[in-house]
Every structure is written in C-alpha cells, then in structure tokens.
Amino acid sequence: MISYLLIPWVPLLTVWIALVIQELALPFAAWAVFRPDLVLICLFYWRLYRSDLCGPVLAFVAGLMLDIISGTPLGLNAFSKVAMVLLIGHFSVRLRAAEFMHLLPVMLLLVFFDLIIQLLLFSVLRGNEFYLPLFFGRPIATMLLMPVVVAMLIHIQKSWLEYQ
C-alpha cells in the first residue's frame, strides 16, 4: 500500500539524488571540466520512459535547485532544463524506438544544447565569460557516464514502478 504512495515521487527522488551527487559530492575545483550532468541524464530517462511522471515542472524544479546550489543566476539552469525536457518530449517516439547506443550521441547533443542555452543566457546577464574546456568536457563526461546511470535508473524503475 505504501509503495503506491511513493510511485509519483520516484523520479523526483532520483533527480534529487543525482543533483546532490553532481553538485555536492563532486568537488567543483577537481571536476570543473569533466563534470557530468547527472540531472540531465535522469530527466532524459524519465521523460522517455515515464513521461507521465516527468514533465516541465520537474525539470523546472530540478533546474531551480541546481541554480540555488551552484550559485548561478536564478532561472539559468531552470530554463535550459525545461527546454531540454520539451525537446526530449517532442522526439520521444523516435528516441524510444532507437537502440541504446544511438542514444549516446543524442545525449551528447542535448548537453551541447544545454550548454549553449546557458552560455547565451549567461552572456546576456553577465557578459562574455566563455570557458572552452567546459564546453567540450561536460558533454563527453555525461555521455561516458550515461550507461551506468541509466542502468541504475532501469533497476529503480523495475523494482519500484513496475512492482504493481
């Protein structure tokens, strides 16, 4: 009975855990260039396979929490994460039909788009502060870590959400 109450909160909890690991467990000084975007991986997975539990509201809340924890201007990550979730939702039928190995370059492109949106908004707000290694390191690190995170999310989905 209690598991039915937890079902709607599972994607939020996994996004929250990914956010905590991404922002608090990985020190920024050591992982500045190769810092994976774990939140985007979780949003990507949940939007594809459980779109009823992951939408723009979850992406906005996750992005806003990223802004608060990381100290970036409020709304920067929130806007980019909502844009990415809407983009994933638009192409979700095609992405679900693809094999997993074809989703890795898609994730690479999503992280590039996410960084471009953040870069454009940040340059409007604070001027040009472009850090080129971050622009190439984060997408590669995200793409390399995606199979591990998705394997954990599949396990969580099968054990919690398909328990009924």
Q: Give the pLDDT confidence of 32-78 residue by residue, as tens digits.
A: 678 899 999 999 999 998 888 889 999 999 999 999 988 888 889 99
Domain residues for the domain of 122 are 2-161
Rounded to an integer, what distance in angstroms lies between the CA atom of residue 57 and that of residue 82? 8
Of 104, 31, 125, 40, give the one whose Cα is nearest residue 78.
40
- Tell me the pLDDT tens digit for each residue of 102-158: 999 999 999 999 989 988 888 887 776 666 667 788 899 999 999 999 999 999 888
Burial of 114 by CB count in 10 Å (0-12 exposed, 13-18 middle, 19+ buried)? Answer: buried
| Total tally of structural domains belonging to the chain | 1
Q: What was the pLDDT predicted at 132?
A: 66
